[in-house]
Amino acid sequence: MSFPNMQPPEYPATGSGLTSLAYHRAGQQGRPLIVFLPGGCHLARIAYGQGRGDRRDFLDHWFEELGCGLLGLSYPTDHPSVSSTRSDLTIAEWAAYVAEVVADKARNDKASDVLIQMWSMAGRSVFALNRACLAQGIEVHFISLAATPPLPGLIPLSDGGEPLGKTGFWTFQGNKFMRGFDEAIADQSTRAGRQTIGIDAYHEHFLCNTPIMLRGTAQRFCAGRMHWSEDEAAADTLNGDLDAAPLTATIVPTASSDMAHVLGDSSSWGHLNTQWLVRRAAAEKPLSTDVWSGLREIAARGWQRLTIHSEGGHFFFLGESGAREVAHASLHLLHEMKSTLREVDTLLAAPSPAQADEERARK
């Protein structure tokens, strides 16, 4: 199978019965594989470009400089470069697809780690992605790039729902977010001191129509019809299942144009990280005084070590300086996540009070 208008190394990736547009550039053996998942109405090209322009304006170039591979996965869409008809795609189906494709590439590349970068709407899938990747036998790490977690009430809903096209996709034409997207693209060019993506090229090669249910809201589309169901949305995002929450780092923009993310991302993802810690600790044996003190210290510090701010608005990772900064910040945060995991694992591996008493008695 092939898609028209692909730009090598783009290719049609198949997993769990789904085929969509992917981009894969292998990194150095033993280095991390970065997986980029785009926001609503965007192809993953926003991370690697489209065969034109300056590669230094995109994340892919800087990850290559760091020896990392990049896998960019685009949602099924009726864009001319993809031409998929899965407008009824659910988060659960998307997560299964991502996990299968990622597992294949990570093993073939002999990557040391898998780091999934979730931009914007992609954060809604994090619980399902975590579960699906674990089912594939791979451990992954997550970073939010101005991403919205799967917590109720964080996604704005328009009266009557978002606009759907004839085939059921959420359309970017006439979308209420488009003006803000255009302004944010222009703002990044201003910050970069030169044009990163021209608006015409942006509309033609980077924007697309998106399966509406990937937003994780009550607006649903199946069997050719739209309907509303809060229960279906909750089941799809797993937003009531905090056991599925992974430890997640955040890169947060700074511009007032992206206010919800600038002001809210640290606390939203920090809440989920706290729930991750609570569930890890609660699943273990009775805790010694030293272990409990260590866990309290981790919680008291908050999650500042897993948060970095990057200048710009919603497209803060575009442009030479922004892309370079985010690539380096991503690897720093990967190190911090692994360090936090080791710290928690070491604490929870310590003997329980009863085990410590037995050990002293044997001596």
- C-alpha span between 205 and 203 (Å, rounded): 6
Query: Contact, 286 vs 20, CB < 8 A?
Result: no
For each of the chain's 363 residues, which pLDDT tens digit applies?
567 677 778 999 999 999 999 999 999 999 999 999 999 999 999 999 987 778 999 999 999 999 999 999 999 999 988 877 799 999 999 999 999 999 999 999 999 999 999 999 999 999 999 999 999 999 999 999 999 999 988 887 878 899 999 889 999 887 788 889 999 999 999 988 889 999 999 999 999 999 999 999 999 999 999 999 999 999 999 998 999 999 999 999 999 999 999 999 999 999 999 999 999 999 877 889 999 999 999 998 889 999 999 999 999 999 999 999 999 999 999 999 999 999 999 999 987 666 655 555 565
Kindly report whether the peptide bond that precedes residue 253 is cis, defined as omega within 30 degrees of 0. no
340 to 254, 288, 299, 303: CA distances (angstroms): 25, 19, 11, 10
Helices and strands, number each (H, E), in the chain? 11, 10
Which residues, in sequence order, are CB contacts of 31 under 8 Å at separation 6+?
A: 66, 67, 68, 69, 111, 112
Rg (CA), the chain: 21
Whole-structure pTM value: 0.94
End-to-end CA distance of the chain: 68
- C-alpha span between 227 and 189 (Å, rounded): 40
